[in-house]
A and B are shown apart, each in its own frame.
Chain A
Amino acid sequence: MIVMWLQAMIEEKKIGFSQYNIEGKALEAFLGPLESTIMEAIWGSKKTPITVREIHAALNKTKKIAYTTVMSTMDRLFEKDLLDRKIEKGRGGLYYVYWPKLGKQNFQKSAVREVLASLIGNFGEAVTSCLIEETSMGEGDRKALREQLDKIKRNKK
């Protein structure tokens, strides 16, 4: 099972975050506080795609936040490939509408995989030992696991 999961991890496309915050709670481990708030708001919204103004209005209900801050953060999330956007023509003019590239569950899975891939690439032996200690597996599985981890390492190089 773990072997198959690792195999999938190798082939997984990277998602847009570059740091892992060990003290961050939930999504804030991967994203900044405002980024994660906005992502949560977009996933929680019934309307998709959604405009900056609508997200701004939704966030303002709980905490006062500047429109331009929301606008620049959503722009950054788009650059990080977490959001997609297009120009839509509406009553008031032309404006961007945004939608998430991944659902919340898929994003979390992808993010965890990416962190694990990074850990294995950098600390393969330690990760292997931890995984073997934490899980109960037969000799055949251990051998296959080691082979997969070596393969990940080679790919990293």
Chain B
Amino acid sequence: MNFEGVLVQVFQPYFYYSIIVLAISFVCIKIIVKCCPFMGSKTKSLIYLIPIAAPLFVMFSFPPKILIQAVSYHLIGSFSIPIPQGPAFFSPFQLPHPPLTQTMVTLVALSTNQILSITGIICLTGLALGGIYAVTTIVVGDWIASRLLRVINLDSNEYNWLQTEISKISKKLSISTPQVALVEDLRPNAFTMGHGRKTKLVFTVGLLNILDKEEILAVASHELAHVKNHDFFFKTLSNALTAVSFFNPLAYFALFNSQREREMLADENGAKLLKKPDSLANALTKITKALQNLPGEGRLIRITSNLLVTSPIIHRPQILSGHPKINLRLKNINQLTAIKPKGLRYSKLIVAIFLTCVIIVAGVATTYALVNLQTGYVAPKMVLSGAAYVKGVGTDSIGTHIISISPNPTFNSMLGQIYNLPNPNPQLISPSDPASRNEVPNFNQNQPEYVTPQVSLVNPGTNPSDKIAVVYALTNGNGTTLIIKY
């Protein structure tokens, strides 16, 4: 595949628009979050979804195509022709130069055909991935996670005190009491899985071994807060949206930022349910210390957490993690007991409305600019990217050069029978009527550098119409490029 072919494939509007939109919105939201330290974890987790969701809206505006019109240019040959001296027009991009007495004519064949677009396939794969992922996770995610992690449901008489307390907290939160279950892992952790009545609250054996009752309850409260906050659906939605932009690394950053805020929110809500909010901080500290002394992290827990939307209480800290660092979590829990300044709500509301307006205006403006960029600049370049070679086109005072070429048929495996010019003797013809020019689609007629002469190959003794449909010429200071469309 030639270079233009690759460009045409890569530069599908959706592909680069989605990357730009995601990057701009992610950076904006990062700045906004940094500027508004009083913003709650819930708000933060929701606004981090904007960059992840933005590519989906771009997709509706510029639907990616799997099959696209590709334009190929094939160099056939080149020859010199004499041109008369006289005044010349030049494009704004080219400095004037003395009139030429001789110019180089390059003969280029142009062919268009439908080809598979790599980026189109990638983009639509993302959409399919997101859709399949969301449906699979909601329908069978908990079943797969249960099988993989080998979750063992507890009987009603096992850990009776814990089940009773969990039932009490669930009633307080107005959620259905989840099934309590165990996994055999000695690493301390706990997570929720599934949704609705199929929700399970799973503890590892390691967690039950190292924590006291208060701390186990604190962990349970954190997990029940996840259930109350509908984090199963939140994570499924955000993961599915990220899958749409799976080729964009920034999507994962936005996703993990959003999920970290969700963990903070579960910490806050979980700690509020406890008589002693400190016990959650103690539990987190104990778990972190215990994990430091145990080899490796449960890879399966990490995979199921990220893909099958289980919500573990803790992860070993990593750059790309859906869990915030332990010191940030402890600080956040400790701040719950601190007295918050009054009168913040109004300012918070005003700032939120202002920022929302800014984001909407910026989003509309960006989209408008991108649409103009697409229709006015990128689309013509995509269709006829070869024209980019011509830095500017000048014509002489009498109009466009039309060249008749002496026949000398040769055979080209790619183009079939063509008329090459090993020893050309071209004749210069000028059209008397500019209106008879055969305009080529997608060329901006208002720009004088693009000129489109009539079909002009003359081949005595042969029938060129079978093989050559349209010819147009692009002339610049370095010569004329003749483009033959098959």
By a beta-carbon cutoff of 8 Å, the part of chain A in contact with chain B is 51-53, 56, 66-69, 71, 87, 89, 91-96
Q: Please, which residues of chain A bring their CB within 8 A of the CB of B294?
A: 94
CB–CB A92/B298 < 8 A: yes
- Other-chain residue from A56, A89, A93 in contact with B183 (beta carbon distance below 8 A): A93
Q: Report 21 cross-chain contacts, Cβ distance below 8 Å, ordered by A residue.
A: A53-B152, A66-B154, A66-B155, A67-B154, A67-B182, A68-B154, A68-B159, A68-B182, A87-B186, A89-B295, A91-B299, A91-B300, A93-B184, A93-B185, A93-B186, A93-B300, A94-B185, A94-B298, A95-B185, A95-B205, A96-B186
What's the least CB distance linking A96 to chain B, in Å?
7
What's the least CB distance linking A146 to chain B, in Å?
53
Please report the C-alpha to C-alpha distance between residue A94 and residue B296 in the assembled complex, in whole angstroms: 9
Q: Is the interface of B mostly helix, strand, loop or mixed?
A: loop
CB–CB A93/B158 < 8 A: no
CB–CB B158/A67 < 8 A: yes
CB–CB B186/A56 < 8 A: no
CB–CB B152/A92 < 8 A: no
Chain B CB within 10 Å, residue with most, of A66, A93, A95: A93
Whether a CB of chain A sits under 8 angstroms from the CB of B226 is no
What's the least CB distance linking B53 to chain A, in Å?
34
Please report the C-alpha to C-alpha distance between residue A81 and residue B204 in the assembled complex, in whole angstroms: 25
Q: Please, which residues of chain A bring their CB within 8 A of the CB of B186?
A: 87, 93-96
Q: How many residues of chain B have a CB within 8 Å of chain A? A: 25
By a beta-carbon cutoff of 8 Å, the part of chain B in contact with chain A is 148-150, 152, 154-155, 157-159, 182-187, 204-206, 294-296, 298-301
- Other-chain residue from B152, B154, B159, B187 in contact with A93 (beta carbon distance below 8 A): B187
Please report the C-alpha to C-alpha distance between residue A67 and residue B295 in the assembled complex, in whole angstroms: 25
Known contacts A67-B152, A67-B158, A93 near B204 by CB under 8 Å: yes
Q: Please, which residues of chain B bring their CB within 8 A of the CB of A93?
A: 183-187, 204, 298, 300-301
Q: Please, which residues of chain A bring their CB within 8 A of the CB of B298?
A: 92-94
Q: Please, which residues of chain A bring their CB within 8 A of the CB of B155?
A: 66
What's the least CB distance linking B159 to chain A, in Å?
7
- Other-chain residue from B154, B158, B184, B295 in contact with A92 (beta carbon distance below 8 A): B184
What's the least CB distance linking A68 to chain B, in Å?
5
What's the least CB distance linking B135 to chain A, in Å?
26
Q: Please, which residues of chain B bring their CB within 8 A of the CB of A68?
A: 154, 158-159, 182
Please report the C-alpha to C-alpha distance between residue A93 and residue B158 in the assembled complex, in whole angstroms: 23
Please report the C-alpha to C-alpha distance between residue A148 and residue B70 in the assembled complex, in whole angstroms: 103
What's the least CB distance linking A73 to chain B, in Å?
13
What's the least CB distance linking B365 to chain A, in Å?
50
Chain A CB within 10 Å, residue with most, of B186, B204, B300: B186
Please report the C-alpha to C-alpha distance between residue A95 and residue B184 in the assembled complex, in whole angstroms: 6
Please report the C-alpha to C-alpha distance between residue A87 and residue B296 in the assembled complex, in whole angstroms: 13
What's the least CB distance linking A41 to chain B, in Å?
17
Q: Please, which residues of chain B bring their CB within 8 A of the CB of A67?
A: 152, 154, 158, 182
Please report the C-alpha to C-alpha distance between residue A67 and residue B150 in the assembled complex, in whole angstroms: 12
Q: Please, which residues of chain B bring their CB within 8 A of the CB of A87?
A: 186
Please report the C-alpha to C-alpha distance between residue A89 and residue B295 in the assembled complex, in whole angstroms: 9
Please report the C-alpha to C-alpha distance between residue A68 and residue B155 in the assembled complex, in whole angstroms: 9
What's the least CB distance linking A24 to chain B, in Å?
25
- Other-chain residue from A66, A92, A94 in contact with B150 (beta carbon distance below 8 A): A92
CB–CB B184/A51 < 8 A: yes
A sample of 6 more A-B contacts (CB under 8 A), given A94-B206, A94-B294, is A53-B150, A66-B157, A66-B158, A67-B182, A68-B158, A71-B205
CB–CB A92/B183 < 8 A: yes
Q: Please, which residues of chain B bring their CB within 8 A of the CB of A96?
A: 186
What's the least CB distance linking B431 to chain A, in Å?
77
Q: What residue of chain B has the Cβ atom nearest to residue A53's Cβ?
A: B184
What's the least CB distance linking B317 to chain A, in Å?
18
Q: Please, which residues of chain A bring their CB within 8 A of the CB of B182?
A: 67-68
Q: Please, which residues of chain A bring their CB within 8 A of the CB of B148?
A: 92
Please report the C-alpha to C-alpha distance between residue A66 and residue B299 in the assembled complex, in whole angstroms: 27
CB–CB B296/A92 < 8 A: no
What are the 10 tightest A-B residue pairs by CB atom distance, in nearest-first order? A93-B185, A93-B298, A94-B186, A95-B184, A68-B158, A67-B152, A66-B158, A66-B155, A53-B184, A92-B300
